[in-house]
């Protein structure tokens, strides 16, 4: 017997599609949402709607932002000659939380994965190479310590090497297979400080 209404079920289905949300959590959230006063639900839906409508890629580093340049790229105090390459905006946020990194970023929006058929052209590498035409001292590769992350790091270092720009890789303080976004700030900082030249 189907105990939920069709509408609730549809909401549960949509919530379940979100990353990290299982069926139980989706059910809890769905019942919670429909029990909320109308204004709260409107706030939630308009927050989703507005975030979607007004968010796009930063013109420089390609992270998500609602202005032309993200706060990091817009900050003249930052060292624009040091570029840290990360896989996604969440990794950028993790490094920003340390409060110690003074350079800028480049967000690849993925990693090379021959297994999943994701090649160099499927991530934002071309944009990185274009940025290197400006005055750049160092590229710090901070992709994840996974097979995909390592493959991507290797590919990028080979690509940049001939330009003479210094290429470094964050130290292995980041556990193998570990997602940067879940790693504590102390470990992230240690990985950054212990980076090695490729």
Binding residues (CB under 5 A) for Zn ion: these are: 58, 60-61, 70, 73
Nearest CB to Zn ion, comparing residues 61 and 83: 61
Could you tell me the smallest distance in angstroms from the CB atom of residue 44 to Zn ion? 28
Could you tell me the smallest distance in angstroms from the CB atom of residue 57 to Zn ion? 8
Q: DSSP letter string over 146-194?
A: SHHHHHHHHHHHHHHGGGT-EEEE--TTSPTT--GGGS-HHHHHHHHHT
Q: DSSP letter string over 8-22?
A: HHHHHHHHHTSTT--
Nearest CB to Zn ion, comparing residues 104 and 111: 104
Could you tell me the smallest distance in angstroms from the CB atom of residue 34 to Zn ion? 38
- Nearest Cα neighbor of 181 from 145, 134, 129 is 145
Nearest CB to Zn ion, comparing residues 58 and 191: 58
**How many Cβ atoms sit within 10 Å of the Cβ of residue 61?**
25
Nearest CB to Zn ion, comparing residues 16 and 127: 127
Could you tell me the smallest distance in angstroms from the CB atom of residue 46 to Zn ion? 26
Write phi, then psi, for 75 (nearest 5 degrees): -80, 115
């Amino acid at each position: 017997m189907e105990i939920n209404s069709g509408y609730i079920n549809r909401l549960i289905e949509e919530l379940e599609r979100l990353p990290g949300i299982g069926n139980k959590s989706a059910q809890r959230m769905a019942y919670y949402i429909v029990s909320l006063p109308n204004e709260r639900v409107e706030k939630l839906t308009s927050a989703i709607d507005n975030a979607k409508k007004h968010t796009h890629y930063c013109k420089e580093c390609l992270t998500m932002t609602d202005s032309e340049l993200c706060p990091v790229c817009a900050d003249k105090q930052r060292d624009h000659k040091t570029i840290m390459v990360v896989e996604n905006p969440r990794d950028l946020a993790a490094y920003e939380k340390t409060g110690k990194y003074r350079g800028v970023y480049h967000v690849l929006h993925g990693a090379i994965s021959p297994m999943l058929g994701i090649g160099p052209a499927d991530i934002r590498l071309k944009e990185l190479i274009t940025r290197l035409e400006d005055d750049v001292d160092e590229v710090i590769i901070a992709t994840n310590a996974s097979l995909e992350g390592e493959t991507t790091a290797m590919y990028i270092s080979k690509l940049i090497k001939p330009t003479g720009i210094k290429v470094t890789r964050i130290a292995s303080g980041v556990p193998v297979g570990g997602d940067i976004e879940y790693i504590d700030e102390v470990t992230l900082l240690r990985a950054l400080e212990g980076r090695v030249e490729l």
